[in-house]
């Protein structure tokens, strides 16, 4: 982009402005590549974590539903036993009614029979409701188990590929960080601190101008600033987005675009 090439002393802090710009461009390119790799890592980890989280939620749901079903089955069993006991009491009350010798004894035995019959009906109604609820719970558990199996199968099928991809991308990212460390050392410390502070706020830290417009924020530069940038290779800050900005001749932009397409 600039005709100057990095001098042998580029790793020192005695860099010319064109060399500083070239070093910043290289660092910005590395940061863009590193961000892409880190985004890939985050996406792959998110996919893996999402599958595992989904399975964990199904496990929790199954545990809750199975506990609820066990409680319903226990209560239903207790109610069935109550009905058996009451039926025995009914038989005993019928015997009492049959042995009644006075009207008073007969009425008492009859009332006892009616109360027991009502209790049996109530218990049988409760048993019917619990049976329906338990059947619905079993169907829900079966449905959840099917979803759990589907997700577990997907995890089993994809975990190896995702783990392999994570390992591959993580290796590339580590190498890119080493490359970044070397690029940082080529810059004056103060310039790098400015670059890093702007990048932390804006995502990218450098911008170009060719026609008086910042190519990062697309805002017009003050004419005096643009003329100063055109006169000589200097680094300034865009008044609008505060990125480090420098001038690139239109012919250089066209040449770069053509080489990128080529």
pLDDT in tens, 124-167: 999 999 999 999 999 999 999 999 999 999 999 999 999 999 99
Let me know: does 191 contact 184? Beta carbons within 8 Å: no
Q: Considering the domain delimited by 35-186, tell me its CATH architecture.
A: Orthogonal Bundle (1.10)
Sheet of 206-209, strand order: 206-209, 244-247, 236-237
What pLDDT band is residue 262 in, cutting at 50, 70 and 90?
Answer: very low
Cβ density class 53-72: b for 16+ within 10 Å, e for less: ebbeebeeebeebeeebeeb
Burial 28-44 (b: 16+ CB within 10 A, else e): bebbeebeebeebbeeb
CA distance 58 to 64: 10
Give me the percent of the chain exceeding a pLDDT of 70: 91
Residue 260, pLDDT score? 38
pLDDT in tens, 10-57: 444 478 999 999 999 999 999 999 999 999 999 999 999 999 999 999
CA dihedral sign, ordered 106, 108, 114, 117:
negative
Taking alpha carbons only, the member of 139, 142, 131, 145 closest to residue 72 is 131
Return d(Cα 95, Cα 90) in angstroms, integer.
9
pLDDT at 10: 41
Give the side-chain half-sphere CA count within 13 A for 37.
18
């Amino acid at each position: 982009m600039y005709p100057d090439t990095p001098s042998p002393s580029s790793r020192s802090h005695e860099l010319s402005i064109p060399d500083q710009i070239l070093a910043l461009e290289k660092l910005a390119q590395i940061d863009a590549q590193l961000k892409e790799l880190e985004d890939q890592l985050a996406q792959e980890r998110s996919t893996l974590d999402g599958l595992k989280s989904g399975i964990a939620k199904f496990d929790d749901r199954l545990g809750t539903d199975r506990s609820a079903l066990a409680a319903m089955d226990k209560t239903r069993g207790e109610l069935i036993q109550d009905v058996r006991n009451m039926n025995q009491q009914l038989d005993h009350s019928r015997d009492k009614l049959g042995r009644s010798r006075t009207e008073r004894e007969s009425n008492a035995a009859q009332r006892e029979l009616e109360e027991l019959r009502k209790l049996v009906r109530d218990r049988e109604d409760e048993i019917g409701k619990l049976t329906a609820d338990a059947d619905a719970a079993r169907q829900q558990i079966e449905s959840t188990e099917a979803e759990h199996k589907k997700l577990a199968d997907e995890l089993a099928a994809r975990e190896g590929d995702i783990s392999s991809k994570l390992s591959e991308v993580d290796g590339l990212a580590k190498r890119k960080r080493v490359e970044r460390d070397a690029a940082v050392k080529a810059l004056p410390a103060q310039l790098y601190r400015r670059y890093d502070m702007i990048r932390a706020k804006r995502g990218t830290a450098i911008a170009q101008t060719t026609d008086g417009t910042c190519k990062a924020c697309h805002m017009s530069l003050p004419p005096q600033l643009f003329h100063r940038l055109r006169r000589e290779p200097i680094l300034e800050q865009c008044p609008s987005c505060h990125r480090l900005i420098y001038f690139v001749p239109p012919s250089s932009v066209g040449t770069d675009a053509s080489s990128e397409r080529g």
